[in-house]
Amino acid sequence: MKKFLLAGIIISALLCSCKKDKGIDYASLIPGTWVNTQVDSKTILTDASFVLKFHGGNMETFASGVILDENNKTWMENDSYTYSVDGNRIIIDGNNNLGSNFHLEFIIQSVDQQTLTYSVSKFMVDGVEYPDPKIYTNKKVTVSLSSQFVGTWYGKSTTQGNPDSSYHYWQYFADGHFNYYYQDNSGNWINKPDNNGLYFLYGSLLATNYTNDLITGGTGKAFECWNLSIQGNTMFWMGLRGNELVTSFRMEKVTGPPS
């Protein structure tokens, strides 16, 4: 009799558990902006970050760095995707900025107000399927730093051994572009004329586009991603690069660029 009673309790618990899982309203938890932070439980390189934005009207934006050719790479936002949620599946369709057609199906492993973890059950580009066995962990953007971020900042790299020990100015505007100032050999501050700077801010993730890197001597389009924090008038950037090298900057907010 006790065995039957125990079995009944276990079955009842399992049924309640299944019912609870099936009752999760995934569609209500998915909308928002999600930043990829880990792949297979390992922290990714900061430049490898990507962003998923699930909007109203079942529109979806995907943002990431894109390699155009051996000399050019850029951060792109693409808002031409649509999505739907079917149980614990997220289905995404659309064309990327380069004209390729995508059909994606994600299986939600877990989701709450802060973290979305999913696997990929289908990844198709122009009708060709590419297996992807990885598990992706994404953090939801819950705080905007835009109002604190806009303005002029003065600072330099704090990475030990960085050959660039000079101070710089960055001037960020609300419309998404920025100016970069450097000091020439005569001590004059120069607004780099071919910078063509654009930035994208997703919570604490900053992505910047620019051209013709003054420091490395590289030519063409380039992008960088940084994890930032702002404490009053002080801003810190940190980026995990190759070989697990962490690069960092510290800067102070000032009233304006150099005159």
pLDDT in tens, 177-202: 999 999 999 999 999 999 999 999 99
Judged against a pLDDT cut of 90, whether residue 151 lies above it is answered with yes
State the residue for tokens 């051996």: 70
Helix (H) or strand (E) holding 109: strand 101-111
Domains of the chain with bracketed CATH: 25-65+77-140 (2.40.128.20), 146-254 (2.40.128.280)
Residue 149: which residues within 8 A CB-CB, separation 6 or more? 172, 201, 206, 228, 230, 235
Average of per-residue pLDDT across 47-75? 95
Task: Specify the 3-state DSSP secondary structure of 45.
Answer: coil
Q: Tell me the percentage of the chain whose pLDDT exceeds 70.
A: 92
Q: Three-state SS across 185-219? A: CCCCEEECCCCCEEEEEECCEEEEEEECCCCCCCC
The number of residues in the chain equals: 259
Q: Does the structure show a pLDDT above 60 at 128? A: yes
Helix (H/G/I), strand (E/B), else coil: 133: coil
Question: What CA–CA distance (Å, rounded) separates 19 from 80?
Answer: 36
Question: Can you tell me the distance from the alpha carbon of 52 to that of 226, in angstroms, rounded to the nearest whole number?
Answer: 17
Q: Which residue has the tokens 């938890």?
A: 29
